[in-house]
Amino acid sequence: MPNPEIPKLEEYSLKALDHFFQTIQACFSQEATQAHTPEAIEELRIRWVGRKQGLLKTIGESCLKTAPADAKKAIGQRFNALKEQIEQALETGSGSAPTASPADSIDITLPGTRPGTGAEHPLIRTLHEVVGIFERMGYSVGVGPEVETDYYNFESLNFPPNHPARDTQDTLVVAGQQGKPLRERLLMRTHTSPVQIRTMEQQPPPLRIVIPGKVHRNDAADATHSPIFHQVEGLCVDTNITFSDLKGTLDHAMKELFGSSVKTRFFPSFFPFTEPSADVQISCIFCGGKGCRKCKHSGWIELLGCGMVDPAVFGFVRERQPAYDPKKISGFAFGMGIDRIAMMRYGIGDIGLLYSGDVRFLEQFA
- In this prediction, residue 64 carries a pLDDT of 73
Separation between Cα atoms, residue 78 and residue 86, nearest integer Å: 12
Report cis status (omega within 30 of 0) of the bond before 160: no
Is the distance from CB of 243 to CB of 257 less than 8 angstroms? no
96 has pLDDT over 70:
no
For residues 268-288, give the mean pLDDT: 93
- In this prediction, residue 326 carries a pLDDT of 93
pTM value? 0.67
- In this prediction, residue 68 carries a pLDDT of 81
* DSSP secondary structure letters along 274-289: EEEEEEEEEE-TTTTT
Residues 63-76: pLDDT tens digits? 777 778 888 788 88
Separation between Cα atoms, residue 133 and residue 210, nearest integer Å: 10
Give the pLDDT band (50/70/90) at residue 7.
low
